[in-house]
Chains A and B, each alone.
Chain A
Amino acid sequence: MIIKHQQKRLCLGLAGCLLSTGNVFAHDPVFSPGPHVLFKDGFEIHAEFAQSEQGDEKESEQAVAFKYGLSGDWVVGIELPYETVKDDLGTEQGVGDMTLSTKYRFWRKDTLGVQETAAIVAKVKLDTGDDQVGSGTTDTLLGFTYGYESLKWYRWASVRYRFNQDRSIENKGNLQRGDRLFVDFAGGYRPKVNDYREADTVWLLEFNGEYSGRNAFNGVNRNNTGGSQWFVSPGIMWTLRNFAVKAGVQIPVLSNLNGEQDDSDYRARLEFEWHL
C-alpha cells in the first residue's frame, strides 16, 4: 500500500504542497514569504498546523521550526514536519522531510513609520522523512521577495522556483518530477495602531499562483500531472509583544491542471510564533 500511495502522490505531483510556503515570519503573509527577518542573535520558535483537501485526498501537517538571526538582515532556520495523508487507499503518516532555510535582506529603505525591504530566500528540503510521507528527494527552492510595511498598510510580492530532484524507483525506473513556480501578491490592513503592550491585528488578503511542470517517467510525460492554480487567501495576523498568531485559508479561484486531476478544495494554515 505504501508503494501505491507513493506512486500516486508522486504522479499527481502533490507531495510537499503544504511545505511550499518558503520562509514565513511574523510580519510576512501566511501563505507566501515576505522579507521580514529577525534581529541579530534573535531566536524564533514556530509551530504550525496545516490542512488541505484535493478530491479524495486529505493532507495535514504539524511542524515545528527554529530560526536564528545571524545579523539584522540574515536569518537561518530548520523545520521538521509530521504529516498525515488520507485517501481512498488508506492513511499514511510519519515524520516528513526536514527543511533548512535561509533569508537575506539585501535592501532596506526606512522612513518615518514605513519600511520597504527586499530579500532573497533559499531552502533545501532534505531526504530525511519516513518512507510513507517523505518525497525521497532533495529539492531546492530559490526566491525573491519585496515588502512595503507602514503603520496602516502592507503590501508584498514574491516569486519562487523549486527545483525538484529526480527520483529513482527501485526496479521500475526514473521519475522526473516537474519543477514548480510560485508567484504571490499580498496586502494587509491594520485598522488601529495600538501601543506595543496591547494586541495588534492586521487583516490580510493574498493571491497565490502556482505552476507545476509535468512529471515524466523514464522520459515519457505523465498526462495527469502538472498545471496551474490560483488561490485567493484571506488571513489574519495577531501579535502581542513578542508573540504572534497567524491564520488563513486558500480558496482556489482558477485551475488549469493537465489531464484528469482533482482541483484543490482548500488549504488552511494556523501558526504560532515566539520571538526570544
Chain B
Amino acid sequence: MNKLNLVSLKSLLQCLLFSLFISSLTLSTVSSAAETHYQLQVDGLVCPFCEYNVQKKLGKLDGVLKVTANLKDGVVNVLVADGKTLSEKQAKKELTDAGFTLKSIESHQGEK
C-alpha cells in the first residue's frame, strides 16, 4: 500500500512539474508577443559613432528594451516593452537630437 502511494505521489509530482514547465513556456510566449518591434528608416547613418548616438538617444526612452542598427540599410530596430509605445514624434525628436533624419517608422506587435 505504502509502495503504491509513493508511486502515485511521484507521478503527481512529475505531472505538476511538467505543468509548471508548460505554463512558464506559455507565459514567456505571451510576454514576447506583447512587446512591440519598431523599424525605423533613418538617413545619414555613416559611422559607428552614429550608431552609438542613436542607441544613446533612443535607448533612454521609457519602455525601450533594445536598440540595434544596420548602417548599410539605414535601419534602426527598436524593441519596446508591453504597454509602452514609441510615437513617430518621439522617434523624430530623438533622431534629430542625435543628428539624423527619420524617413519612416513601422511597428509590428509581438514580432522580434
Contact = CB atoms under 8 A, between A and B. Distances in A.
Interface of A: 26-27, 37, 39-42, 71-73, 105, 108, 110-115, 149-151, 193-194, 196, 200, 239-242, 244, 275
Given A111-B44, A112-B43, A113-B46, A39 B51 contact: no
Interface centre among A39, A114, A244 (most CB of B within 10 A): A39
Contacts of A151: 46, 71-72
Interface in B45-59: 45-53, 56-57
A29 to B, nearest CB: 14
A241 B46 contact: no
Nearest to B56: A39
22 contacts: A27-B47, A40-B57, A40-B97, A71-B97, A105-B99, A108-B99, A110-B101, A111-B43, A113-B46, A113-B71, A113-B72, A114-B43, A115-B45, A115-B100, A149-B46, A196-B69, A200-B47, A200-B48, A239-B48, A240-B48, A244-B49, A275-B52
Given A110-B43, A114-B44, A242 B98 contact: no
A160 to B, nearest CB: 22
A115 B52 contact: no
Contacts, number: 76
A37 B45 contact: no
B51 A196 contact: yes
Nearest to B98: A39
B77 to A, nearest CB: 13
Interface string B39-81: 0000111111111110011000000000001011010000000
A275 B96 CA distance: 18
Given A41-B97, A115-B46, A275-B49, 19 more contacts: A39-B57, A42-B53, A72-B97, A108-B101, A110-B43, A110-B100, A113-B72, A115-B44, A115-B50, A115-B100, A149-B47, A150-B46, A151-B46, A151-B71, A193-B72, A200-B48, A239-B48, A239-B49, A244-B49
Given A193-B71, A193-B72, A72 B99 contact: yes
A239 B49 CA distance: 8
Contacts of A244: 49
Interface residues on B, range: 20 to 34
A98 to B, nearest CB: 27
Nearest to A190: B47
Interface centre among A37, A40, A73, A196 (most CB of B within 10 A): A196
Interface of B: 43-53, 56-57, 69, 71-72, 74, 96-101
Contacts of A112: 43, 74
Contacts of A242: 49, 52
Contact of A39 (B45, B46, B72, B97): B97
A150 B43 CA distance: 11
Contacts of A42: 53, 56
Contacts of B100: 110, 115
Contacts of B98: 39-40, 72
A118 to B, nearest CB: 13
A111 B44 CA distance: 5
Contacts of B49: 26-27, 239, 242, 244, 275
A108 B52 contact: no
A239 B45 CA distance: 15
B52 A113 contact: no
Interface centre among B50, B53, B96, B99 (most CB of A within 10 A): B99
